[in-house]
Copies of this chain bind each other. A is one copy, B any other.
Amino acid sequence: MQTKRNFSVKREAIFKKIASSQEHPTAEWVYEQLKPEIPDLSLGTVYRNIAVFKEMGIVKSIGVYNGQERYDWDMSPHSHFVCTECFRIMDVPKGRSFVDKSMYEFVETECRASITGHSICFYGLCSDCQKTDISALENA
The reply on A19 being an interface residue by CB < 8 A is no
Contact between B111 and A115 (Cβ–Cβ < 8 Å)? no
Give complex CA distance A126, B125 in Å. Answer: 34
Residues from chain B with Cβ under 8 Å of A87 in the complex: none
Q: How many copies of this kind of chain does the complex include?
A: 2
| A90-B111, A107-B92, A110-B92 as given contacts; A124 in contact with B117, CB under 8 Å | yes
The reply on A7 being an interface residue by CB < 8 A is no
Contact between B64 and A115 (Cβ–Cβ < 8 Å)? no
Contact between A111 and B123 (Cβ–Cβ < 8 Å)? no
| A63-B63, A81-B107, A93-B110 as given contacts; A125 in contact with B116, CB under 8 Å | yes
Taking the closest CB of chain B, its distance from the CB of A131, in whole angstroms, is: 11
The reply on A99 being an interface residue by CB < 8 A is yes
A contacts, CB < 8 Å to B: 63-64, 79, 81, 83-84, 90, 92-93, 96, 98-99, 103-104, 106-108, 110-127, 130
